[in-house]
Structures are given as structure tokens and as C-alpha cells.
Amino acid sequence: MFLNRTTKKQLGEVLGISGPTAGRKIRGEISWSLSDLYRVADFFEVDIIDLLPHRVTQTQETPDSLSRTEGSNLVAGAGFEPTTSGL
């Protein structure tokens, strides 16, 4: 939508719903029908497969792909550091 400068109101018009309802669909509060996806794909001139979720294969950097004996070179996220005082 951003790349095409499309508003939720415009998307809603394509789907036959209001802009706020289109926003709820985008946020996942309302499910999409197959006919909704075909309309959106036609509107944006993309293949419908581009609108569907797909699995991403795990890479070496993902924690689930590491075995317990290999260790990890990943850095812990914020909040894992010990607190220091006086700095």
C-alpha cells in the first residue's frame, strides 16, 4: 500500500467495505476471504501468491537451528545485561 500510495479508504473501496474496516483487515482483526485476496492482487497488479504467507527456512543464525553442543555466537538482546550503579 505504501509503495502505491494507497489509503485504507481506497483499499476499502476495492473490497466494498469502509476504510476503517479495511484497516481492521490489515491489522488481522478481521479475516481475509479468497475473493478479497484476488481483488487486492488485481488492484495492485501482483500475483496472489505474493499476498499469501510463506515459510522461511531457518538459517544458522536462528536459535532453533543450533544444536546444544555447538554453542552460539548470538548476542543477547537488551535487558540481559547486569545492572551497574554509579555510571
Higher-pLDDT residue of 72, 1: 1
Contacts of residue 25, Cβ cutoff 8 Å, sequence gap at least 6? 15, 17, 31, 32, 36
Distance of CA 59 to the CA centre of its chain: 19
pLDDT tens for 9-46 read 999 999 999 999 999 999 999 999 999 999 999 999 99
Q: Are 11 and 1 in contact (CB under 8 A)?
A: yes
Reported confidence tier of residue 87, pLDDT bands at 50, 70, 90:
low
Higher-pLDDT residue of 35, 68: 35
The whole-number pLDDT of residue 72 equals 55
The whole-number pLDDT of residue 54 equals 81
**CA 48/CA 35 separation, integer angstroms:** 10
**Which grid coordinates belong to 76?**
543477547
